[in-house]
Amino acid sequence: MRKDYITVKGYGEKEIIVSKSRFITYVDRAENEQEALDFIAKIKKMHPSATHNCSCYIVGEFDNIQKANDDGEPNGTAGVPMLEVLKKQGLKDTVVVVTRYFGGIKLGGGGLIRAYGKATTEGIAAAQVVERKLHHLMKVSIDYTFLGKVENEIRGSSYTLRDIQYVDAVDVFVFVLKDEETAFTSWMIELTNGQAVITCEDKQFIEFPRM
């Protein structure tokens, strides 16, 4: 299971005009190839009269599925340049469709490559890029006498406090980056003089804006 990767936050769209042609970009996250294909089909259904609905996607933990479609544009002038933008930005699990309505002026091969590349870049910006980092959800069970100290220390640290549950003891839930569990556990043991009971409850990704 991968520890972290870059993808889009979610759905986004952006329209640009190049030499009177409209280029409308649609971007979304796709966890598998079927989700990518469904998204492409949905956009094509929205624009049945468009001149072209070009698309690309990258899915799979190791980017093992990469597809590009020129949808009638000259070979290599649309889908591949779009896919190259995804690869250059290091995006995973991402699907893009660029819908073009021809404006009457031919762009030529180089012009098409630049236009589809720009449309894809701006569409990705509209969707927003995030980094997903794998965290372990750690539960720290402590006596009430340690709560103030432990809570203050966690809030002032790089760890993310998710929740505090008040039962017979206090259960403090903290997101800890994968590979930092041992350091976190040692820190909690030290803070509580060895009184804390620490367990790993779950694993999940947390998203951070990509600057």
Amino acid identity at 106: K
Q: Is-contact 7 93, C-beta < 8 A?
A: yes
Q: Which two tokens stand for residue 162?
A: 């998710």
Last residue of a domain, one of 93, 127, 161: 127
Q: Which of 10, 38, 4 minimizes the C-alpha distance to 124?
A: 10
pLDDT tens-digit map of 138-176:
999 999 999 999 999 999 999 999 999 998 899 999 999
Q: Are strands 170-177 and 12-18 parallel, antiparallel or unpaired?
A: unpaired
Q: What is the CATH number of the domain that holds 13?
A: 3.30.230.30
> Is residue 44 within a helix (H) or strand (E), and if so which, with residue range?
helix 33-46
Say if residue 68 is in the same domain as residue 138. Answer: no
Each residue's pLDDT, cut to its tens digit, for the chain (211 residues) gives 678 999 999 999 999 999 999 999 999 999 999 999 999 999 999 999 999 999 999 999 899 999 999 999 999 999 999 999 999 999 999 999 999 999 999 999 999 999 999 999 999 999 999 999 999 999 999 999 999 999 999 999 999 999 999 988 999 999 999 889 999 999 999 999 999 999 999 999 999 998 6
Question: How much of the chain is helix, strand and coil, in % rounded to 5?
Answer: 30, 40, 25
pLDDT tens-digit map of 15-38:
999 999 999 999 999 999 999 999
Say if residue 51 is in the same domain as residue 96. Answer: yes
Say if residue 106 is in the same domain as residue 120. Answer: yes
Q: Which domain holds residue 137?
A: 133-209
